[in-house]
Amino acid sequence: MNKWVNGVRVCVMALGVLAAGTALAADPVKVSNAWVRATMPGQKVAGAYLDIESPDKAALVSATSPAAVSVEMHSMAMEGNIMKMRQLDRLDLPAKKVVSFKPGGLHLMLVDVKKPLKQGDKVPFTLVVEKADKSRAEVKFEAEVHAAHGEHMKH
Ligand SMILES: [Cu+2]
C-alpha cells in the first residue's frame, strides 16, 4: 500500500497572518502597575504612579499624555520638616531593577489636566527612554484612574 496516495494536504496559509500579529518590537523598558489618581473638582494636576524596569542602564528623559498639557517627573523629599517636590529633567534607570513611582515619592505629574479624571478612565502615556548609546525610544502605556483615598489628596 502506498501511503502517499491518499495523503492529506494541510493548508497553512492562515499561519502567516497569525505570525504578523505577534511580531511586536520589544519595548526598551517594562512598565507595570500604572495608575493615576482621580482629580477632585477644580483640580488641575494629578499624580501618576508606575513601576519601570529596564533590561539595561537607561534614563527616562520625558513623558507626555494627551490628557494634560504637560507631564513632569517629580521627586519628593523632606527638607527640614516640609515635604518638597522637585522637578527632574531625567531619571536614571539602573539595569534590571524596578524603579517605583509611588505616592509620597517619585511620581509623574499631569499638569493642566484637560478634563476631570474619573475612576476607571484610561489615560495613555508616552515615555521617552534614552539608552546608554544615546538612542531614544518611546514606550507607550495606559494607566487606569483610581479614586483618591481619604486624606491623601496631595500627590
Ligand atoms: Cu508633583
Across the 155 residues of the chain, what is the mean pLDDT of every consecutive 10-residue run? 50 48 66 96 95 96 98 92 92 97 95 96 97 94 84 48
> Ligand 1 centre and the CA of 74: distance in Å?
5
> Ligand 1 centre and the CA of 43: distance in Å?
13
> Ligand 1 centre and the CA of 135: distance in Å?
27
Q: Global pTM?
A: 0.78
15 in any annotated domain = no
In sequence order, which residues have a C-beta less than 8 Å from that of residue 33 and are 6 or more positions away? 49, 50, 51
For the chain, strand residue ranges (E) read 30-37, 45-53, 58-64, 68-79, 82-88, 91-93, 98-101, 107-113, 122-131, 136-146
- pLDDT at position 22, please? 45
User: Within 13 Å, how many C-alpha atoms sit on residue 40's CB side?
Assistant: 8
> Ligand 1 centre and the CA of 61: distance in Å?
16
120 in any annotated domain = yes
113 in any annotated domain = yes
8 in any annotated domain = no
> Ligand 1 centre and the CA of 85: distance in Å?
6
- Residue pair 95/27 in contact (Cβ under 8 Å)? The answer is no
> Ligand 1 centre and the CA of 155: distance in Å?
6
153 in any annotated domain = no
> Ligand 1 centre and the CA of 47: distance in Å?
7
> Ligand 1 centre and the CA of 66: distance in Å?
18
- Number of structural domains in the chain: 1
- pLDDT at position 86, please? 93
- pLDDT at position 25, please? 54
- pLDDT at position 121, please? 97
Q: List C-alpha distances in Å: 75 to 2, 109, 137.
A: 75, 10, 23
Q: What is the CATH number of the domain that holds 108?
A: 2.60.40.1890
Q: Whole domain around residue 114: which residue ranges?
A: 27-146
> Ligand 1 centre and the CA of 109: distance in Å?
5
- pLDDT at position 151, please? 42
- pLDDT at position 83, please? 87
- Give one word for 112, left, alpha or beta, with left for phi > 0 and alpha for psi -120 to 50: left
